[in-house]
Chains A and B, each alone.
Chain A
Amino acid sequence: MLVTCCQLTEMITDRKEGKLSSEQEEGCARHLAWCDRCRTYLRQMELTVDALRGIPGEPLHDEVRAALFAQFQRRKTAAD
């Protein structure tokens, strides 16, 4: 299967999720072997996804933590 650059940009997620047919998979692999621009695109998609995993979370404020703990204790006492 012949895959264009434009088509490849639409197949990246399905490929990552293992949802391409073997024919599509082969077409993608062949395209990526010769197209450095699409390899750049693929790399940028991977970097984006990996960076998302590393987004720092907001710190949990002590007051919130304390309020939740109090709530937890009350619930627990009520249940016991």
Chain B
Amino acid sequence: MLRVSHDSSAGAGAGAAADGTAAAPARRVPAETGPLVAAGEPGGAASSAAPECAAHGDDIALVRRLLAGDERAFEQLVTQLHTPMLRLARTLAGPAGAQEVVQETWAAVFDGLVRFEGRSALKTWVFRILTNRARTWGTREKRTVPVAWQEDGEQGSEPAVDPARFDGTGDWVNPPVPWTEQSPEGLLLRKEIGAVLQREIEALVPGQRAVVLLRDVEGCPSGEVCEILGISEANQRVLLHRGRSTLRTALERYLTRG
């Protein structure tokens, strides 16, 4: 349903100061800092699949402070977003391109802040810029940035649970054993669980990894995730389901072994 237009060219130009001192050469201001709100945003309130489009007042306030040069606001922005950006960039551009993509995204964000209108969360707005930067990076480096989300989604036959664990009628023959830890806090108190999850997320196919990262790790709402990645709502749900199921199996393997 919702697709971000990747080729909108309006909005480029202003503030494209070539900044030769940055670690990565500054390139022209990307188009994505222009009309960032995907078409169809207003008026979708009737559908539950409509993107969250309430005004993001806190984010607007933060951006105002940033534009006024408030250093604390800058701290807040960077602390909130840098690590999530790196995680998403690694998924899209691999370890090789992640640093560069994040660097370029920050440059585009700083240049584009003045055009942030709060029609989506600031985090979503930044992630969308990052996705577009990653695609540009992929083209430039002649690497395939996984735009293959759809392909991932088409692996719909891949079951959530190993079919061997059910009998012919679909009943469990090898049912899940309750875990000792019955709260997420309890799980994460075991420090290695965090590491297991990190590692298993890295091992997911890119589409599943991106969706799980954005939905479950970052907590972005479904409509915004579709917008950021340019995928359909149904596709997103398939990817989310496969990703979550795989991670549960991984935890099960870890928690019930020997």
Q: Which of A40, A52, A57, A71 contacts B175 (CB 8 A)?
A: A40
Q: A7 to chain B: closest CB distance in Å?
A: 6
Binds A, one of B38-46, B129-137, B185-193: B185-193
CB proximity to A under 8 Å, residues B215-243: 216-217, 219, 222, 237, 240-241
- Among A38, A55, A69: residue with most chain B CB under 10 A: A55
Given A40-B178, A53-B219, answer yes or no on A6-B74 (Cβ-Cβ < 8 Å).
no
Please determine whether B69 and A76 come into contact, CB atoms closer than 8 angstroms: yes
In the assembled complex, which residues on chain A have CB atoms less than 8 Å from the CB atom of B248?
Answer: 44-45, 48
Residue of B nearest to A56 (CB): B194
Question: Do residues A68 and B252 form an inter-chain contact, with CB atoms below 8 A?
Answer: no
Measured in the bound complex, the distance between the Cα atoms of B248 and A79 in whole Å is: 48
The binding surface of chain A is classed by DSSP as: helix
Stretch from B2-10, B52-60, B141-149, B156-164 contacting the other chain: B156-164
In the assembled complex, which residues on chain A have CB atoms less than 8 Å from the CB atom of B79? 60
Any A CB within 8 A of the CB of B251: yes
Interface of B is mostly: helix
Number of A-B contacts (CB under 8 A): 143
In angstroms, Cα B70 to Cα A76, docked, is 11
Q: 21 A-B contacts, Cβ less than 8 Å apart? A: A5-B171, A5-B175, A6-B171, A12-B160, A13-B237, A40-B176, A40-B177, A43-B178, A44-B248, A44-B252, A48-B248, A49-B244, A51-B251, A52-B247, A53-B216, A53-B219, A54-B188, A65-B75, A68-B82, A71-B22, A79-B114
| Interface residue ranges of A9-67 to B (CB < 8 Å) | 9-10, 12-14, 17-19, 37-38, 40-41, 43-45, 47-58, 60, 64-65, 67
Interface range, A side: 35 or more
B139 part of interface (Cβ distance < 8 Å): no
| Chain B residues, CB < 8 A from A52 | 197, 201, 212, 216-217, 247
* Complex: chain B residue closest to A64, CB-CB: B82
Residues of A within 8 A of B160 (CB): 9-10, 12
CA distance A4 to B175 in the complex (A): 13
Known: A51-B187, A76-B69. 11 other contacts (CB 8 A): A5-B172, A13-B240, A13-B244, A40-B177, A45-B244, A47-B183, A47-B184, A50-B184, A52-B247, A69-B78, A74-B21
